[in-house]
Amino acid sequence: MAARLEEIKNGASVRGIVSAQAVHVISVDWIGDQAISVVFRDHNGTVAEAVLYRDDEHRLEVEQSGRPWSFDADGALLRLVTEANRIKLAHYFDPYLAIHTSLVDPLPHQISAVYGEMLPRQPLRFLLADDPGAGKTIMAGLLIKELIARSDLERCLVVAPGSLVEQWQDELGQKFNLEFDILSRDMIENSRSGNPFSDRDRLIVRLDVLARNEELQEKLMSAREWDLIICDEAHRMSATYFGGEVKYTRRYQVGQKLGQVCRHLLLMSATPHNGKEEDFQLFMALLDGDRFEGRFRDGVHYADTEDMMRRLTKEELLKFDGRPLFPERRARTVKYQLSEGEAALYTAVTEYVRTEMNRVQRFAEGDGKKRNNVGFALQILQRRLASSPAAIYQSLKRRRERLENELGEARLATKGRRAGFDEPTINTDMLGNIEEYGQEEIDELEDLISTGATTAETVEQLALEVETLKGLESMALGVLRSGVDTKWSQLNRILDDDLMIDAAGNRRKLIIFTEPKDTLHYLLDKVRARLGNTQAVEVIHGGVSREERRKVVERFMQDKDMLVLIANDAAGEGVNLQRGHLMVNYDLPWNPNKIEQRFGRIHRIGQTEVCHLWNLVAADTREGEVYARLLEKLEAAREALGGRVYDVLGELFEGTALKDLLFEAIQYGEQEEVKARLFQQVDGAVDQANLLELLRRRALTNDTMPEAKVAELRLEMERAEALRLQPHHIQSFFVEAFQHLGGRLKRREEGRWEITHVPARIRERDR
């Protein structure tokens, strides 16, 4: 290794002065700052003198500094080098380094998942299937951070549903100081290399963006290998056996490709099993194709998956003190009867919906797209009818205005001949997979379809529908102006419930879930007037920006003066509201899975109070009767099985979806035999034996978190806390090392420094 002139000192042994052999330096005199005069003794004992210049440094090599064990090197530099190595190898004596360098306070089940299940597996092929609200994102962040600390991770890709990518970016950044970019259209188009997957080492991508873009998949396959790929909500990458053949979805094929381009693969899903063992094994084949692929034969091909997955249900999760992590959940059904005016409006709008539905089934038998669009539009109208007078009035008004415009244009163009109306341009892929989209996109789609989709084939039919809508709109306006709203009256009573006031006499925080934005703003005005404080109530819906949504959630969590949050399902997924424990479903979703998702906003880690839910339902409406029956049966099941019943709501109706049952009730609910059959289907779904089977299926493995294991983890954490690198050691090392390398910095205040100069050798490192 080449030596600088400064390293040639009295007593040194140096090669390269006169030959390849080492000489012993007797004395050194500087000639300016670019040359030295050296007196030395060669291996024959001959004393000589030489002048060395900077240009000679490349051939000089200092063999030893002074006599053996002279300890005359730079002691401060030795200490810095030693400290740098201690920090580099910190994970050897601090087994929980990622925890101690992150802004998280992990729980026993999170620590055991990362340090007990995932890190020991090399390479990692694993399914993390803990219940919703268990903090799987925290576990993923700890895994990433720990792999980085062990120099085992440079490139990481997170694949998640579109509605969750921003939450992933926020959590990894805020809690783990890990910067990830979200793959965007601009990033793809402006890629320096032509491949966005090669440009960045930490990336978050939307699952459906990948699934729909084969060119992007090709770029994924041609990029450098990823050290770790994490797939959130991985159950969406499904495949099924159908007619003896395997039907692979586009998402499943993406999952197969992801497994080929990474060393570690982590799948995360709270619902990996859809009830069919053969489909579950196809899903597990994403982790190990050799083990799980192949023709499934019942009773022959049952495979044990416990060594490749970890699943803990909420009831099994404990705190470090051994107490249950999650509190109890209680729900109650609040039935109400419509007023005379509301009942008349309900009957009229329902009759319009039934008539139009019958028409579309007759006239559009050969046009499945039209049938789907009109059917969806009529479902939306019926849900908005149940939501509020404001929602149905505004929906009818917008639909009448849109069809009136269509009518005017058709009359000008056809003068009575076949109209050929402009159907709204609908994203059919979105309509078929609406649960995969964000609430803002869903709101836009619902508004577009509900105002424009019609069964009318001629100008005369369209004119007749417009007249019908004018009558309905007038009725809805009358109900709205009357001020009689029995549903709001029930919410008003709930606001006076004893549970709304704490022991100190202060009002507790409440979350109200609704669906249409018209109802949301209607309730905003009413609740603000009821509380007499405009600052006490805020809203979240699909149109609220990401930054504004974060501010609203932060205010709900921190500001004691903000008491009520009114939200639609934009807050049903990815928003944590555990500061409140009281919730009202002002509008009941036709997808029961959303009840579970909504309840999960408050029933999650950090919640200390019993969670209460009020479900409002108009029991004298056709769909309300069916929903009330479902809620009553659920409450009876909760008495027997506990709050676990709320965890399987999305799996109750596997054959016929709840929304189909409700819409059938709207169309044919006056027929007693139809009503009896619908009640029978609801009773069967919520039958205790069926619920027990669903709960057993959800368990999947025999994983538990016994108190002894929790106590052992607590002791390990205490030992690690004593051994870990302390922050003041890191600060002391950084300041001294930075200054040694030529950097300049000044202390501004305790814990805060200003860096005024970064030397080139640091700036250029790793470039």
Task: Reduce the secondary structure of 403-446 to three states and give it as a string.
Answer: HHHHHHHHHHHHCCCCCCCCCCCCCHHHHHCHHHCCHHHHHHHH
Task: Tally Cβ neighbours within 10 Å of residue 141.
Answer: 28
Residue whose pair of structure tokens reads 């002279």 in the numeric block: 70
Above pLDDT 70, what percent of the chain?
Answer: 83
Task: Indicate if the pLDDT at residue 122 is higher than 50.
Answer: yes
Buried b (16+ CB within 10 A) or exposed e, 62-81: beeeeeeeeeeeeeeeeebe
List all residues 6 or more positions away from 436 whose beta carbon is below 8 Å from its beta carbon: 161, 162, 208, 236
Q: Binning pLDDT at 50, 70 and 90, where does residue 474 land?
A: very high
Round to whole Å and give the CA distance between 384 and 38. Answer: 95
Task: Indicate if the pLDDT at residue 437 is higher than 60.
Answer: no
> Mean pLDDT throughout 234-257?
85
- Which among 159-173, 436-450, 509-523 has the top mean pLDDT? 509-523
Q: Binning pLDDT at 50, 70 and 90, where does residue 28 land?
A: very high
- Phi and psi of 615, rounded to 5°? -110, 115
Q: Counting runs of H as helices and runs of E as strands, what totals does the chain give?
A: 30, 22
Q: Binning pLDDT at 50, 70 and 90, where does residue 418 land?
A: very low
The tens digit of pLDDT for each residue in 709-741 reads 677 777 776 666 666 667 777 888 888 888 888
Per-residue tokens: 164: 């969750």
Asked whether the CA dihedral 512, 517, 519, 522 is positive or negative, the reply is positive
Q: Are 325 and 605 in contact (CB under 8 A)?
A: yes
Task: Indicate if the pLDDT at residue 475 is higher than 90.
Answer: yes
Q: How far apart are the first and last CA of the chain?
A: 23
**Secondary structure (DSSP) of 512-538:** EE-SSHHHHHHHHHHHHHHHT-GGGEE
Task: Indicate if the pLDDT at residue 443 is higher than 80.
Answer: no
- Please state which of the ranges 24-28, 162-166, 633-637 shows the lowest mean pLDDT: 633-637
Q: Binning pLDDT at 50, 70 and 90, where does residue 419 land?
A: very low
Interhelix angle 658-668/622-641, rounded to 10 degrees, is 140
**Residue 206 forms beta bridges with which residues?**
160
Round to whole Å and give the CA distance between 541 and 82. Answer: 55
Per-residue tokens: 397: 């008004």
Q: What is the pLDDT of residue 180?
A: 96
Task: Indicate if the pLDDT at residue 675 is higher than 90.
Answer: no
Q: What is the pLDDT of residue 555?
A: 92
**Domain at 96-311, CATH class:** alpha beta
List all residues 6 or more positions away from 583 whose beta carbon is below 8 Å from its beta carbon: 510, 511, 512, 513, 598, 599, 601, 602, 611, 612, 613, 614
**CB neighbour class for 288 (10 Å; exposed up to 12, middle 13-18, buried from 19):** middle
Give which of 98, 618, 526 is closest to 338, Cα–Cα. Answer: 618
Helix (H, G, I), strand (E, B) or coil at 74: coil
Q: What is the pLDDT of residue 647?
A: 67
- Start-end of H helices in 117-232: 136-149, 165-176, 185-189, 196-199, 207-212, 214-222
Cα 180 to chain centroid distance, Å, stands at 14
Give the angle subtended at the CA of 323 by the CAs of 319 and 327, to the nearest 5°. Answer: 95
> Mean pLDDT throughout 450-471?
78
| Strand residues in 44-180 grouped as ranges (E) | 47-53, 61-64, 125-128, 156-160
Query: Which CATH superfamily does the domain covering 322-339+484-619 fall into?
Result: P-loop containing nucleotide triphosphate hydrolases (3.40.50.300)
Exposure on the CB side of residue 290, measured as CA atoms within 13 A:
1
Task: Indicate if the pLDDT at residue 416 is higher than 50.
Answer: no
Task: Tally Cβ neighbours within 10 Å of residue 4.
Answer: 10
Q: What is the pLDDT of residue 169?
A: 94
Task: Tally Cβ neighbours within 10 Å of residue 401.
Answer: 14
Q: Binning pLDDT at 50, 70 and 90, where does residue 417 land?
A: very low
Q: What is the pLDDT of residue 487?
A: 94
Buried b (16+ CB within 10 A) or exposed e, 15-37: bbbeeeebbbbeebeeeeeebbe
Q: Are 502 and 508 in contact (CB under 8 A)?
A: yes
- What amino acid occupies position 240? T
Give which of 101, 104, 103 is closest to 87, Cα–Cα. Answer: 101
Q: Are 4 and 35 in contact (CB under 8 A)?
A: no
- Please state which of the ranges 178-182, 268-272, 575-579, 708-712 shows the lowest mean pLDDT: 708-712
For residue 123, is the peptide bond before it cis, meaning its omega torsion is within 30 degrees of 0?
A: yes
> Mean pLDDT throughout 520-539?
93
- Start-end of H helices in 242-307: 250-260, 277-284, 289-292
More confident residue, 174 or 278: 174
Q: What is the pLDDT of residue 258?
A: 96
More confident residue, 421 or 514: 514
**Secondary structure (DSSP) of 192-205:** SSS-HHHH-SEEEE
**CB neighbour class for 361 (10 Å; exposed up to 12, middle 13-18, buried from 19):** middle
CATH number of the domain located at residue range(s) 5-70 in this protein: 2.30.30
Round to whole Å and give the CA distance between 459 and 410. Answer: 7
Round to whole Å and give the CA distance between 165 and 158. Answer: 9
Helix (H, G, I), strand (E, B) or coil at 302: coil
**Residue 204 forms beta bridges with which residues?**
158, 182
Listed by start position, the domains of the chain span: 5-70, 96-311, 322-339+484-619, 355-479, 621-698
List all residues 6 or more positions away from 450 whose beta carbon is below 8 Å from its beta carbon: 377, 380, 381, 384, 395, 398, 399
Round to whole Å and give the CA distance between 180 and 200. Answer: 9
Q: What is the pLDDT of residue 164?
A: 85
Task: Note whether 5-70 and 96-311 share their fold.
Answer: no
More confident residue, 647 or 562: 562
Q: What is the pLDDT of residue 428?
A: 54
More confident residue, 180 or 1: 180
> Mean pLDDT throughout 480-493?
94
Q: What is the pLDDT of residue 766?
A: 63
Q: Are 322 and 478 in contact (CB under 8 A)?
A: no
> Mean pLDDT throughout 305-332?
82
Helix (H, G, I), strand (E, B) or coil at 284: helix
Give which of 140, 127, 131, 136 is closest to 308, Cα–Cα. Answer: 127
Round to whole Å and give the CA distance between 90 and 428. Answer: 54
Round to whole Å and give the CA distance between 337 and 189. Answer: 57
Q: What is the pLDDT of residue 303?
A: 64
**Mean of all residue pLDDT scores within the chain:** 82
**Residue 510 forms beta bridges with which residues?**
564, 582
Helix (H, G, I), strand (E, B) or coil at 360: helix
Helix (H) or strand (E) holding 623: helix 622-641
The tens digit of pLDDT for each residue in 184-227 reads 999 999 988 999 999 999 999 999 899 989 999 999 999 999 99
Helix (H, G, I), strand (E, B) or coil at 239: strand
Helix (H, G, I), strand (E, B) or coil at 724: coil
Q: What is the pLDDT of residue 183?
A: 94
Q: What is the dihedral of CA 190, 193, 194, 200, to 10 degrees?
A: -70
Round to whole Å and give the CA distance between 207 and 234. Answer: 9
The tens digit of pLDDT for each residue in 683-710 reads 777 777 777 777 666 555 555 556 666 7
Q: What is the pLDDT of residue 227?
A: 96
Per-residue tokens: 378: 């009529």
